[in-house]
Structure 1
Amino acid sequence: MSLGQRVRVIRLKKGMTQIELASGICTPSLISQIESDRARPSYKTLVALATRLDVPLEDLIKEVDFDLEFSSKYKMALSMVRSKEYYAAIQLLNALVAVDQHRMPKEILLLELTRCHVELGNVLEAENSLAHMCQTCNTEKRDDFLFVEVLLLLGKVAELKNEYPIALFHTSRAWNELQKEGEIDIDFRAKILMQLANLHERVGKIEEAAEYYEKALLLNQGNGTERGKTFLRLAEVYDRQKKYELAEEYATKATVLMEEQANVEQHREMLHRLIMLQGEKSDWNVSVQKLLNLSEQHEQIGDKSKAGKIFADIALICSENGAIDESWAYAEKARMSLSDTSPKMGQVHRVLSFVYFHRGDEEKGNRHLDNAIKIFERHGKFAELVEVTLHMCRYLSDKGEHREAFERMERLHTYMAGQLEQRGIVL
């Protein structure tokens, strides 16, 4: 028996609902996920559940197969998803899906995999994963909560394809199915309502959009930032309906709430942007020092990714001002802090290519330039891609490798034409 099955059996014997079991410990949604083996509780939660169920902890976990190796990989993948490191998460989730020896439900792995593909705009891959989950949901013993999640993702995929009526159909079905579930937390309900509101707005049904935003607002009582965003959306919707008094009312509420919610992190982000914008007008050494102060603040709270992005910008400033050794040092610090798939790594490789070309190491310079091009292509960074490709072509031309330079320019042209065609623009 799995841990989830055991929790469910004991809960039912005690005559408790999931809401009663969850009260004061976690959300009813988490209890649902634990019982269906879609989530593993922490030790603290496990102890609290054993106490609530009035059973010794050792009886709760006796002879339970925890599959620790695969469980730890799954948790790493979830952490990557939550950290928005989608490329890395996809690799780990694909590896878990390919293995049959563990007890991690395949549909839950596919659910997280689909979320990653949706966030990255990988429509075809998302549709493939959803096709497998739809087969699971069509069985007699389907998980209704999983079915709602699948419908919501189908709506997201259709939205990515600009098929708004289809997106609206799937999302509406998700909302209707959710009404049958009495134990789903309000945050998830608010999420679906916001998607419904956004889709109604996209298809021009402004009044319906306003109604859904208002319903979402009633659920977002505790989340100040989300309430502020909803106030703003309502202000825009009412402005489109020429209901100017309501638009002004909600715009004022949004302004007040967002000012109250403005936190230290938002201030740091704004300061970072301001320093980069003012870079050309001020002493670059002063800009570097200001950025270093910011990076230290991020490092103190353990945010390596934010610190890495700042190091990448410092490296760029140093390279533009001829400080080659400093440029290399900060680029390497950025590499240690950023994931290999981060869009900012394109800038890091671009700087390192400049450093190694300057030092006469053409092999390393060429390799870093190629890495920069690949990352810029992957993330659709068109301006950066054009700049770095032209730099590479000039370098090859100066060496007399004119054919290689021409072929690279042709590849750039083909890539750009393909990207434009995907956006409905044909040259």
Structure 2
Amino acid sequence: MSDQLLTIGQRVKRHRAERGMSQVELAEGVCSPQTVSLLETDKHTPSADILRCLAEKLEIPLHEMMRNRESELEVKLQVEVLKIYTEQKAYDQALELIAEIDLRDYLPEHDKTQVNLLRAECWMRTKRVQEALDLLVQLKDQLEAERVWDDQFMASFYNKLGNAYYFEANPIFAHLNYLRALELSKKHPESQLQVAEISFNLGTVCSWLGFYHDANEYLSDALEVFDRISDTKRLAYTYFTFGVLHKNLNEFEKAESYLQKALALYRSHNLVDMSHLVRQQFAKSILAGQDANRAILELLDCVREFKNSGDSRRVIQTYAHIASLYIEENRLDDAVKCLVAGVEIAETASMKNDPMYGYLNQVYAKFFLRDQKFEYAIEYSLQAAELYVSSGLLRESADCWQICAEAHRKLGRTEQAFAMFEKVANTLRRAQENINVEDRRFLH
């Protein structure tokens, strides 16, 4: 019989038989053998958690076990299966199941809210960020008006809304929602993992915004929990984020130590994409200061890997890193090739409003400054600064105005250069004031 025609129970039975397992062996540590028997004879469908555990023992994804049979489940079980699909990053299958659930004549309000949150999560992870954000903002108004959800649920919601803003490259609003999520989650000491996850997100966005003191504290809190519960995947990403943080602080020995720890854990879990991300960070942050040519070769290899995985954002970023190194080495012909390649990808991927495109323009401005094409250096530095400002990235915008000021100075425009240098100083002062405001939250 075609697998498409098999029931869920028949699929379980087939996979079990193919692996030479008895019902008792499959049930061990999961449920009773009777539950497996009732499932295989289509007399009972157990909980979503039991189905997930059985799929894991059979070494197949849950969606492979369920394929095209989700519509036969009760709505409560459909929603639970949907949660598991999302946790397992099976976003396409999750969206298909959401379409099935949407066809239901009646869905309780509680379940409808859960489905919409999971819909937003899937959209975020499948590059439909604006749709996800619109849905979550609409839900925010509804949830705050109803006031029927507990603190842990609302903490989870604000964390998800923070993620949507983060993916939309809006770190200011991401930061505000993460703060709200952390405040609510800390009311329940038993939810340590939730607190750690939100603390990690806060640490990441604080590092992006230049709030380095806060970033260090939030990441340290997350690291302590992930280490204590031996969550090695989250631990690896926290090591990586600490590496980036210490690089930004010019503490290169600490940065290298954290990045090497992250790389070792990613390789032990065979997380190839993340290991390439660590290699990229190590090459541009550490290796570039030791051997620029080796760093360039390593980054070119990262470009190939990011292209293979379809990560356009990382490809653009890495091309900009390489171009920056070429500029430092005065290899301007090689630099411009990388910049042109980055722009082509950004335009194809419609990323002209992404801060990563701002970084590309910033490196272009550095290129024109070195090539003594000062008008172009001014044009590109201002474009980059404008994009950074709209994303709340003050330090990065100050770096761009510094290039603009230097270009004006080279052209003999003393007044314009002075005005730009003054803008740099004011912007850095504002960035420091933001950090000081953040620090006040720790006063009793």
Tell me the TM-score normalised to structure 1 length: 0.51
Instruction: Give the deviation of 1:149 after TM superposition.
Output: 3.2
Q: Which of 117, 127, 144 in structure 2 is aligned with 1:134?
A: 144
Match of 2:428 in 1: 416
Q: How does 1:30-179 map to 2 (within 5 A)?
A: 31=79, 81-82=124-125, 89=129, 91-92=130-131, 97=134, 106=135, 108-110=136-138, 130=140, 133-135=143-145, 137-138=146-147, 144=149, 148-153=152-157, 170-171=184-185
Residue-by-residue CA offset, 1:270-325 (whole Å, 9 max, x unaligned): 4334433333543x445433322221122223233222222111111222222223
Asked if 1:324 corresponds to 2:324, the answer is no
Q: 2:298 is matched with which residue?
A: 290
Query: 2: CA distance between counterparts of 1:43 and 1:266?
Result: 22
Q: SS of 2:428's equivalent?
A: helix
AA partner of residue 333 (structure 2): D
- The answer to whether the 8 A contact 2:398-2:427 is kept is no
Q: Deviations over 1:145-202 (max 9, x none)?
A: 8x753244568999967999x87762266799xxxxxxxxxxxx77436469999xx9
1:371 aligned to 383, 386, 392, which one?
383
Match of 1:309 among 296, 304, 317: 317
Aligned to 1:103: none
By how many angstroms is 1:134 displaced?
0.6
Q: Distance in 2 between matches of 1:401 and 1:420?
A: 29
Q: How many angstroms does 1:369 deviate by?
A: 1.0
Pick aligned residue for 1:380 from 389, 393, 403: 393
Q: Which amino acid aligns with 1:421?
A: E
- Mapped contact 1:312–1:330 kept (Cα < 8 A): yes
Deviations 1:215-240 (A, max 9, x none): x94xx8xx65147789xxxxxxxxxx
Pair 1:330–1:395, CA change in 2 (3 A): same
Counterparts of 1:175 and 1:76 in 2: how far apart (Å)? 29
- Among 192, 216, 221, the alignment partner of 2:194 is 192
Equivalent residue runs for 1:205-354 within 5 Å: 217=229, 224-226=232-234, 260-261=268-269, 263-276=271-284, 277-282=286-291, 284-337=292-345, 339-354=351-366
> Cα distance, 1:31 vs. partner?
1.0
Contact residue 376 and residue 385 of structure 1 kept, 8 A: yes
CA contact (8 A) 1:159 1:167 kept: no
Distance, in Å, in 2 between the alignment partners of 1:160 and 1:331 is: 31
Shift of 1:131: 5.4
Q: Which runs of 5+ in 1 are unaligned?
A: 1-13, 51-56, 65-73, 98-105, 112-129, 177-188, 203-208, 231-253
Is the CA contact (8 Å cut-off) linking 1:228 and 1:257 kept in structure 2? Answer: yes
Instruction: Assess if the C-alpha contact under 8 Å between 1:335 and 1:348 holds in 2.
Output: yes
Q: Taking structure 2 as the reference length, what is the TM-score of the superposition?
A: 0.49
Contact 1:316–1:351 (Cα < 8 Å) also in 2: yes
Whichever residue aligns with residue 324 of structure 1, its letter is L
Task: Kindly indicate whether the alpha-carbon contact (under 8 Å) linking 2:95 and 2:122 is maintained by their aligned counterparts in 1.
Answer: no
Post-superposition CA distance 1:368-424 (Å, at most 9, x none): 111222344445362x54443233113223434333333323332322222222222
Distance 2:325 2:277 in 1: 18
Counterparts of 2:308 and 2:124, CA distance in 1: 23
Where structure 2 has 5 or more consecutive residues not aligned to the other structure, the ranges are 1-42, 56-61, 67-75, 107-116, 163-172, 203-213, 215-220, 239-261, 440-444
Counterpart of 1:373, as a letter, is: A
Aligned residue in 2 for 1:117: none
How has the CA–CA distance of structure 1 residues 19 and 76 changed in structure 2, closer, same or farther, with 3 Å as cutoff? closer
Contact 2:358/2:385 (<8 A) preserved: yes
Distance 1:48-1:330 versus aligned 2 partners, 3 A rule: closer
Match of 2:413 among 393, 397, 401: 401
The alpha carbon displacement at 1:30 in A equals 6.4
SS at match of 2:310: coil
**SS at 2:436's partner residue?**
coil
Q: Provide the rounded CA distance (Å) in 1 between the counterparts of 2:186 and 2:340.
A: 49
Amino acid at match of 1:171: S
Question: Within 1, Cα distance between the matches of 2:312 and 2:424?
Answer: 33
Partner Cα distance (2:365, 2:181) in 1:
44
Secondary structure of 1:423's partner? helix
Distance 1:153 1:391, change over 3 A: same
Partners of 2:398 and 2:97 in 1: CA distance: 57
Q: CA deviation at 1:333?
A: 1.8
How far residue 256 of structure 1 moved from its aligned partner, in angstroms, is: 9.7
**1:116 corresponds to:** none
Q: Give the aligned partner of residue 179 of structure 1.
A: none
CA distance in 2, matches of 1:150, 1:355: 47
- Measured at CA, do residues 79 and 363 of structure 1 come closer, stay the same or move farther in structure 2, by a change above 3 Å? farther
Provide the aligned length of Structure 1 versus Structure 2. 305
Give, in angstroms, the shift of residue 357 of structure 1: 5.2
Q: Which amino acid aligns with 1:278?
A: L
